[in-house]
Amino acid sequence: MKTHRPALLLPLAFLAAFYVYPLAAILQTSFSGDTRGLAELCADAYYARVLAFTVFQAALSTLLTLVVALPAAYIFARYDFRGARVLRALTTLPFLMPTIVVATAFSALFGPRGSVNLALMQFLQLDQPPIQILNTLWVILLAHTFYNFTIVLRIVGGFWANLDPQVENAARVLGANRARTFLHVTLPLIAPAIVAAALLVFIFDFTSFGVVLILGGPRLATLEVEIYRQTVNLFNLPIAAALSLAQLVCTFALMYVYTRLQARLAQPLRLRPQAIVKRKPQRAREKIFVWGYLTAMLVFLMTPLVSVIAASFEDGSGYYAELFINRRGSIMFVPPMEAVRNSLFFAAITIVLAVGLGLLAAYALVSQSRAARILDPVFMLPLGTSAVTLGFGFILALGNLRASIWLVPIAHALIAFPFVVRSLLPMLRSIQPQLRQAAQILGASPARVWREIDLPIVARAVIVGAVFAFTVSMGEFGATALVARPELPTIPLAIYRFLGQPGLVNFGQALALSTILMVVSAAAIVAMERLRVGESEF
């Protein structure tokens, strides 16, 4: 079924108005007659240090993620063990959690009153918390590794699991030991997958916002945090525009290299079914390695999330009761539970926008025409742009709509749009054209063909796309922090406000809201996994 041209214009118009136009406003502000931003950016050594730290922390986080996750990729690729699917699904939870929840989790774990410090103080009978890594590089590295672990596991592990083990066996027969076989045979074969995973992790770390803002403190500013600070705290728009331009150039360059690497990964080398490649751990040393590592992995990935839930009930249900109270002098303009209502309201609008526009865009991409090949990367452009940069572009380009409640769901829909498109494409491409043709021959109108042929087939994919959009909207923090009205906070904004205030009750309310957001996100993840048919095309 062909998409009508006016309908195709809707997603293009949406991108033009809320993606291209805001980015053009950033470029215009950067290169306008007043070039103070670019001049100061080039002259001030502070901004060079911000850029250097952004690259440094992203590179170090990527390296640490590879070191920690590559053994997991090997275990899941080469060993068959009970509970593998459940464990693999659990490794995905941290990545799908909102970044504000990840930051809160590490605050609850390693903060002055975090579970680790409280346990050590009680065990060692200390008066002061022995571990003080908040507002340091170390906690940022830990949080980034925790968040991006599953990227390396899935990209490298999935590729490794399909490699023919006979290549390695041939090297062993020819006299190569285990280390030499890995270095000279296995590593060159999986290197493209490792580089692709590393580059994707680097992109996420390079554009990290919530984790660095909350855990790093004012001394450790990345480009994302500095754009936010210059916009919200200092209202220095020329500098913020120059920083956004620098970040856009970097992220687009990284995304270009990543897509080229993905194309290279699409050319397999002697792949075999995973069922043939995998085997059960036999020797005692193998069992110790496999189960010892998997235990450590679970502790690392689950402890921060469990600590949030446990700490939120430290005062019984008191922290949750506080969410319904608007105390005088509170940082919130409304009772904190209003943030939950606001998030659900914005998420509902996001679903309508993202799914509706995503369906039109997906239908346009189903054909193999030249226009579809051009539109494919165009519709994916928001993936290569940070949410903070998008939010700043909204401020520059849509300042007259600053008081509108629609900016938040529009920003959320723009971020969710590529995910929805990629969720829908596999099912749309699976529809046999003969089914539509037969219905048309029998006299069915185009609307009836879509209702009775397409819709039953793509219904589950539509629901998955809707859940994707819901999850993205509920947890989005970067763009929301710039465009949301103060009296209409979302859950992530409310958590950030509470974390920025002293007092145990404020911290407890942040924990309670984080737990609510975590439970909602986890339920959405479970729903997506149960409804998903095949793999989305990321």
Predicted TM-score (pTM) of the model is 0.85
* H or E element, residue 68: helix 45-78
Question: Quick check: is 329 in a domain?
Answer: yes
The single-letter DSSP state of residue 183 is I
Measured CA to CA, the distance from residue 441 to residue 374 in angstroms comes to 32
Task: Let me know: does 445 contact 383? Beta carbons within 8 Å.
Answer: no
* Domain ranges, residue 363: 1-21+313-538
Question: Quick check: is 120 in a domain?
Answer: no
Question: Quick check: is 177 in a domain?
Answer: no
Angle between helices 237-265 and 45-78 (to 10 degrees): 30
- Cα distances (Å, whole numbers) of residue 56 to 33, 51, 373: 33, 9, 36
Q: Summarize pLDDT for 74-100 with one digit per residue, the tens.
A: 999 888 888 888 888 888 889 888 899
Question: Does position 362 have pLDDT exceeding 60, yes or no?
Answer: yes
β-bridge mates for residue 271, sequence order:
163
pLDDT at site 34 = 56
Measured CA to CA, the distance from residue 421 to residue 133 in angstroms comes to 40
Q: How many domains does the chain have?
A: 1
Question: Does position 7 have pLDDT exceeding 80, yes or no?
Answer: no
Question: Does position 3 have pLDDT exceeding 50, yes or no?
Answer: no
Question: Quick check: is 263 in a domain?
Answer: no
**Any idea what the CATH number is for the domain that residue 497 is in?**
1.10.3720.10
Question: Quick check: is 258 in a domain?
Answer: no
Task: Let me know: does 470 contact 524? Beta carbons within 8 Å.
Answer: yes
Question: Quick check: is 80 in a domain?
Answer: no
DSSP, collapsed to helix, strand or coil, labels residue 83 as: coil
Measured CA to CA, the distance from residue 297 to residue 413 in angstroms comes to 34
Name the percent of the chain lying above pLDDT 90. 37
Question: Quick check: is 433 in a domain?
Answer: yes
pLDDT at site 103 = 93
Lowest mean pLDDT among 83-92, 129-138, 306-315: 83-92
Task: Let me know: does 148 contact 61? Beta carbons within 8 Å.
Answer: yes
pLDDT at site 37 = 63
The amino acid sitting at 189 is L
Task: Let me know: does 243 contact 230? Beta carbons within 8 Å.
Answer: yes
Question: Quick check: is 409 in a domain?
Answer: yes
Question: Does position 419 have pLDDT exceeding 80, yes or no?
Answer: yes
